Amino acid sequence: MRFTCEASLASKRMAHLFERATSGRSKCRGCARPIQNGELRFGERVPNLFGEGETTLWFHPLCAAYKRPEPVLEVLAGTTGSVPDREGLERAALGSAANKRLQRIDGAERSPSGKANCRSCHLPIPRGSWRIRVVFHEEGRFAPGGYVHFACRKVYFETDEILNQILQFSPDLSGADREELINAFEAGQAGPSNG
Ligand SMILES: [Zn+2]
Ligand SMILES: [Zn+2]
């Protein structure tokens, strides 16, 4: 099964695509977890930085929808075939395409030290408190871009609808940690806000 974008078939560039993984060796660029053999994956075609031609960066479909929404939307727009969870992917990609800062969300973790400063308010992030990881997309790679206090997320991301992305890109958290993360996130929502 292979879905490609018909519009870009006409251009020189090879099309981004959805396909079933033909091995279990590819790793998702979005969350760094392996993509299982037979699992649907999204391939973004990018110029090869280290040589001729192009290369394909693989993602879990939802990871791509959050972090690389434009190529995902391009394929969906050019695909008439059925794509599993097409609506969910479209919703995630449209959200991230409309608000570019959402594409930077790379999960959350408890700060292992008090050394990093928040990208939003520039104050230190206390050791042990939750922080959101930020990455920047440059030339087909995601470069570490620092952290944002949980309390600063609304100001920085301009929305509070980011829990799904945070969980999607925090695959290494244990079940208990995920629960604590959700509690911390929701406690922040109920807390005082200056708008
Ligand atoms: Zn992934
Ligand atoms: Zn802050």
> Is 6 in the same domain as 94?
yes
| 86-109 pLDDT tens trace | 999 999 999 999 999 999 999 999
Q: How confident is the model at residue 2 (pLDDT cuts 50, 70, 90)?
A: low
What's the whole-number mean pLDDT along residues 31-35? 96
Number of domains in the chain: 2
Query: Residue 156 CA: which ligand is closest?
Result: 2
Query: Residue 118 CA: which ligand is closest?
Result: 2
Position 195 in a domain: no
**Is the pLDDT reported for residue 193 higher than 70?**
no
Query: Residue 29 CA: which ligand is closest?
Result: 1
The pLDDT, as a whole number, for residue 40 is: 96
| 148-190 pLDDT tens trace | 999 999 999 999 999 999 999 999 999 999 999 999 999 876 5
Position 43 in a domain: yes
Query: Residue 107 CA: which ligand is closest?
Result: 1
Q: What is the DSSP string of 86-151?
A: HHHHHHHHHHHHHSGGGGGEEEEEE-SSS-PBBTTT--B--TTSEEEEEEEEETTEEEEEEEEEGG
What spacing in Å lies between the alpha carbon of 63 and ligand 1's midpoint?
Answer: 5
The pLDDT, as a whole number, for residue 139 is: 81
Position 48 in a domain: yes
> Is 109 in the same domain as 91?
no
> Is 159 in the same domain as 75?
no
Strand partners for 4: 17
Query: Residue 59 CA: which ligand is closest?
Result: 1
Range of the domain at 123: 100-190
Name which of 188, 186, 178, 177 is nearest 149 in CA terms: 188
What spacing in Å lies between the alpha carbon of 172 and ligand 1's midpoint?
Answer: 12
What's the whole-number mean pLDDT along residues 32-51? 92
Residue in this structure with the two tokens 């760094």, named with its chain if needed: 32
Query: Residue 58 CA: which ligand is closest?
Result: 1
Position 31 in a domain: yes
| 111-153 pLDDT tens trace | 999 999 999 999 999 999 999 999 999 988 899 999 999 999 9
What spacing in Å lies between the alpha carbon of 160 and ligand 1's midpoint?
Answer: 22
> Is 17 in the same domain as 74?
yes
> Is 7 in the same domain as 65?
yes
**Is the pLDDT reported for residue 9 higher than 70?**
no
H or E segment to which residue 186 belongs: helix 175-190
Choosing from 98, 133, 157, the residue where a domain stops is 98
> Is 75 in the same domain as 136?
no
**Is the pLDDT reported for residue 57 higher than 80?**
yes
The pLDDT, as a whole number, for residue 47 is: 86
Choosing from 98, 117, 141, the residue where a domain stops is 98
Choosing from 54, 83, 98, the residue where a domain stops is 98
What spacing in Å lies between the alpha carbon of 181 and ligand 2's midpoint?
Answer: 17
Distance CA 181, CA 190 (A): 15
